[in-house]
């Protein structure tokens, strides 16, 4: 299995704590970018619709209908990377910064209009071309800035090898990385443009502000407001972002740990616990069929069962599905299996039961 660091931008290799350096993680072989597991031609074990709404992705969007919020230092890392394969990503980033839309000393963000549409149209995730990420390449079907992706893009998978346990683990990684992005970008801004942080402009908004005319038209904010935001760095934003990268890159090994403080310690402990569950699963003593599981009969007589995710399902032979009703939670798993052997001349192996549990088709009673 790969190391956790193998799934993250190279910049973090000397910054993240020891846990990230050594522990292995499940290799997410079910979620593939080159042959999207959620596109019609390649989908297997997928619940195709929920309440009549398709859950399949378009091949020209895939899961890239999310637009990233890139911290200043990752923007600077991209701009500083002169490799030819990143030329298109650099071009798009420079174009984005020149537009001044969503460009701040802390982040390069998607337009406010996108945030509104994404929040209120999440059922169209993977399916709406109007939400396609600005860094997505139609020619290659991939990301033009991948080595410098942010927390969400580093940790989202449509399907998880470890099922619900895998999703919890990667969500915890996302929480830790997001905390790191916030603190590192605030710290870098404090060094270069202290008024931005000291005036509280780095604080997350608890409520989304009403959309302005500029937001609706995807145009730059008023020149006076933009100049007041950037002060002496207005007009030299590219250099500012590169300087943020150099600052973060030069942090000592314990620099990030100090910036994250107690919150970082708590999130790391949570991450370690969820990691153990994801890589070393244990079958509960008692199990019952999840009443909220979705059931979709397929043309070949098999059945697709989904529970923990609208994008993932487990396919079973039809006759095997009939055995699940015996799992009521009133008796231990060993007793239920013996009952199936004695009365139905059938059995579900521990591996199959573990897979059903990890997908929460069967849940702990």
CATH number reported for the structural domain that contains residue 328 in this entry: 3.90.930
pLDDT of residue 53: 47
Instruction: Please indicate, yes or no, whether residues 61 and 194 belong to a single structural domain of this protein.
Output: yes
Q: Which residues contact 42 (CB under 8 A, 6 or more apart)?
A: 32, 35, 36
Domain that holds residue 272: 4-279
Provide the β-strand partners of residue 315. Answer: 304
Whether pTM > 0.75 for this model: the answer is: yes
Q: Which of 279, 297, 332 is the last residue of a domain?
A: 279
Tally of structural domains, the chain: 2
Same domain, 54 and 200: yes
Task: Examine the domain organization and report whether 146 and 182 are in the same domain.
Answer: yes
Whether residue 216 is found in the same domain as residue 121? yes
Tell me, yes or no, whether 291 and 275 share the same domain.
Answer: no
Helix (H) or strand (E) holding 286: strand 286-289
Domain check: are 226 and 357 in the same one?
no
Q: Domain ends where: 258, 279, 300?
A: 279
What tokens does 182 get?
């916030």
| Structural domain ending residue among the three candidates 279, 308, 324 | 279
What pLDDT is attached to residue 293? 96
Q: Do 156 and 43 lie in a common domain?
A: yes
Looking at the structure, tell me whether residues 325 and 214 fall in a common domain. Answer: no
Same domain, 292 and 259: no
Work out the number of other CB atoms within 10 angstroms of the CB of residue 271.
21
- Residues 294, 264: one domain? no
Give the max Cα distance, the chain. 80
Chain centroid to CA 227: 34
Looking at residue 50, its pLDDT comes to 47
| Order of strands across the sheet that contains 362-364 | 328-332, 286-289, 362-364
pLDDT tens, N- to C-terminus, the chain (365 residues): 678 888 899 999 999 999 998 768 878 999 988 889 898 665 454 555 544 445 789 999 999 999 999 999 999 999 999 999 999 999 999 999 999 999 999 999 999 898 888 888 878 899 999 999 999 999 999 999 999 999 999 999 999 999 999 999 999 999 999 999 999 999 999 999 999 999 999 987 666 778 888 888 889 999 999 999 999 999 999 999 999 999 999 999 899 999 999 999 999 999 999 999 999 999 999 999 999 999 999 999 999 999 999 899 999 999 999 999 999 999 999 999 999 999 999 999 999 999 999 999 999 99
Per-residue pLDDT, 115: 87
Which pLDDT belongs to residue 81?
97
- Asked if 132 and 244 sit in the same domain, the reply is yes
The rounded distance, in Å, linking the Cα atoms of 73 and 254 is 18
Query: CA 88, CA 107: separation in Å to the nearest integer?
Result: 20
Distances (CA, A) of 291 to 36, 104, 175, 188: 30, 47, 30, 49
Q: Are the C-beta atoms of residues 199 and 30 closer than 8 Å to each other?
A: no
Q: Are residues 305 and 273 in the same domain?
A: no
């Amino acid at each position: 299995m790969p190391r956790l660091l193998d799934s993250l931008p190279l910049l973090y290799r000397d910054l993240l704590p020891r846990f990230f350096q050594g522990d292995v993680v499940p290799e997410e072989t079910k979620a593939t970018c080159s042959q999207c597991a959620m596109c019609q031609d390649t989908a297997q074990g997928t619940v195709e619709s929920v309440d009549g709404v398709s859950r399949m992705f378009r091949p020209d969007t895939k899961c890239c209908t999310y637009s990233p919020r890139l911290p200043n230092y990752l923007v600077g890392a991209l701009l500083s990377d002169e490799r030819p394969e990143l030329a298109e990503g650099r071009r798009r980033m420079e174009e984005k910064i020149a537009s001044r839309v969503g460009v701040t000393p802390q982040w390069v963000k998607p337009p406010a209009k996108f945030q509104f549409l994404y929040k209120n149209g999440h059922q169209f995730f993977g399916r709406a071309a109007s939400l396609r990420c600005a860094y997505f390449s139609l020619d290659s079907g991939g990301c033009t800035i991948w080595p410098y992706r942010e927390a969400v893009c580093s940790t989202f998978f449509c399907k998880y090898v470890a099922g619900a346990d895998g999703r919890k683990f990667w969500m915890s990684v996302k929480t830790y990385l997001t905390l790191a992005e916030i603190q590192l970008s605030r710290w870098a801004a404090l060094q270069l443009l202290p008024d931005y942080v000291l005036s509280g402009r780095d604080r997350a908004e608890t409520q989304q502000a009403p959309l302005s005319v500029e937001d609706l038209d995807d145009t730059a904010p008023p020149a006076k407001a933009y100049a007041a935001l950037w002060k002496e760095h207005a007009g030299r934003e590219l250099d500012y972002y590169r300087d943020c990268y150099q600052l973060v890159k030069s942090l000592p090994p314990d620099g990030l740990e100090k910036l994250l403080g107690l919150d970082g310690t708590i999130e790391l402990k949570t991450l370690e616990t969820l990691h153990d569950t994801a890589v070393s699963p244990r079958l509960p003593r008692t199990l019952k069929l999840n009443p909220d599981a979705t059931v979709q009969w397929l043309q070949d007589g098999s059945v697709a069962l989904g529970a923990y995710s609208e994008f993932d399902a487990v396919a079973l032979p039809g006759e095997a599905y009939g055995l699940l009703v015996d799992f009521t939670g009133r008796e231990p798993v060993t007793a239920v299996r013996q009952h199936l052997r004695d009365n139905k001349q059938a059995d579900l192996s521990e591996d199959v039961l573990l897979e059903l549990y990890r997908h929460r088709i069967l849940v702990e009673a």
